[in-house]
């Protein structure tokens, strides 16, 4: 069951997989730039960064950087896409509903990311991903073990 969650068998047609790849790379790179900016300006941001659920400004900023910087790299490469989109969805949900109070236009970008990461969570990484290569390797080993 967990295996099927990590390596979904649907949405693997070439056209759909190209669209998923495009979405992963574009939104991953855009999200990555937000994390990179936060890393570069960490000392200035930590002083006024909002504290979410009592974590404090420092810890909230660290978690945000992990979501935006690290998880984006996994998303772009197509490695553990379904697992890595979970913190991204949570971060953008918190950004939209808590930080921006679900107000437009202030929270519009967070809402767009939130929706796109949900779509990528549902579809999985597609054919053009490291997850697909891992799945193919496991399937190949499984069939040779049965012979």
Q: Please state, rounded to an integer, the average pLDDT across all residues of the chain.
A: 90
Residues in the chain: 147
Q: How far apart (Å, rounded) are the C-alpha atoms in residues 96 and 114?
A: 8
Q: What is the pLDDT confidence band of residue 147, given thresholds at 50, 70 and 90?
A: low
Indicate if the pLDDT at residue 108 is higher than 80: yes
CB 19 within 8 A of CB 76: no
Please tell me the total count of domains within the chain. 1
Decide if 44 is inside a domain.
Answer: yes
Q: What is the pLDDT confidence band of residue 86, given thresholds at 50, 70 and 90?
A: very high
Decide if 2 is inside a domain.
Answer: no
Decide if 8 is inside a domain.
Answer: no
CB 78 within 8 A of CB 131: yes
Quick: pLDDT tens for 28-72: 999 999 999 999 999 999 999 988 888 899 999 999 999 999 999
Structure-model confidence comparison of residues 98 and 6, the more confident one = 98
Indicate if the pLDDT at residue 7 is higher than 90: no
Decide if 6 is inside a domain.
Answer: no
Decide if 4 is inside a domain.
Answer: no
> Could you give the percent of the chain with pLDDT greater than 70?
92
Decide if 72 is inside a domain.
Answer: yes
Residue 86 CB-half CA count within 13 A: 6
Decide if 18 is inside a domain.
Answer: yes
Question: Cis ω on the peptide bond leading into residue 82 (within 30° of 0)?
Answer: no
3-state class (DSSP) for residue 8: coil
For the chain, what is the radius of gyration of the CA atoms?
Answer: 17
Indicate if the pLDDT at residue 145 is higher than 90: no
pTM over the 0.95 mark: no
For residue 128, the enclosing domain spans 13-145
The confidence score (pLDDT) of residue 10 equals: 66
């Amino acid at each position: 069951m967990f295996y099927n969650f990590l390596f979904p068998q649907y949405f693997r047609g070439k056209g759909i997989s190209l669209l998923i790849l495009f979405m992963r790379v574009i939104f991953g790179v855009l999200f990555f730039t937000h994390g990179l900016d936060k890393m570069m300006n960490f000392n200035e941001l930590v002083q006024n960064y909002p504290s979410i659920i009592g974590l404090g400004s420092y810890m909230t900023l660290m978690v945000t950087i992990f979501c935006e910087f690290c998880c984006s790299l996994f998303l772009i490469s197509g490695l553990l896409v379904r697992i890595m989109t979970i913190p991204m969805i949570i971060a953008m949900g918190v950004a939209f509903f808590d930080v921006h109070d679900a107000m437009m236009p202030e929270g519009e970008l967070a809402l767009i990311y939130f929706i796109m990461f949900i779509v990528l969570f549902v579809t999985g990484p597609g054919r053009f991903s490291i997850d697909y290569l891992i799945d193919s390797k496991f399937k190949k080993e499984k069939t040779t073990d049965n012979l």
